[in-house]
Amino acid sequence: MINYVASELDPLILFADNHLLAVNKPAGLLTQDSGTGLRNLEDWAREWVRVDKNKPGDVFLNAVHRIDKVVSGVVLFARTSKALTRLNEDIRKRNCKKIYHCLVEGQLKKPADTLVHWMTHENHRARICREGQKGAQRAVLSYRKLPDIGKFQCLEINLETGRYHQIRAQLAAMGNPIAGDEKYGARQKSKSGDIALHSRELYITHPTLKEPIKIEAPYPANSPWWF
């Protein structure tokens, strides 16, 4: 059985109230239980709520969205069924905004652009395909160049759709794979297997207060990429 120490999550808490909990997920940690029994953020966050809020029984906590194991940054959890239902509806209607930062290899053809592809996925990999192909989904993101970090070019990504490995596959198709992302053609990797993709900002409407909220995740301090 995995032992989750609630207090160790404290430095990663970005926002918490009676309805929401946002955490800065470390790269290398699953968002949710994958059925493998590996350590995951949702169970850790559930233990944090149980201890911090002194809840002896079952704790309601569900991830509103997920990010890949090799990716760091904002993950939002709903602490009530009402919050989960309303946030899921907002995501379905695209009434939220997700901003990612990433470091890429290669030379950019344009400092800013909108990428539109059709994508499928199988065998844990996304593939660019033709419109109309079986299972194809439209994938859209926009990016702009930020100041370089080290030897890499840094991009800000506004994710308009949320397809499987979308950012990773679209940037690779553009000729600029994310640093560390060997699966999509990157030459440079980290010893930990993490990639230089960070869920930087999340903009939502609070499910009960109906007020806009911006949640921002600092770059991971122990990352080989960001400093």
Return the active site residues.
Answer: 68
- The CA distance from 157 to 167, in Å, is 8
DSSP letters for 135-186 = T-EEEEEEEEEEEEETTEEEEEEEESS--TTHHHHHHHHTT-PBTT-GGGT-
What values do phi and psi take at 173, rounded to 5? -65, -30
- The candidate with the shortest Cα–Cα distance to 78, out of 207, 200, 212, is 207
Rg (CA), the chain: 18
d(CA 27, CA 34): 16
Cα–Cα distance measured from residue 145 to residue 176, given in angstroms and rounded to the nearest whole number: 12
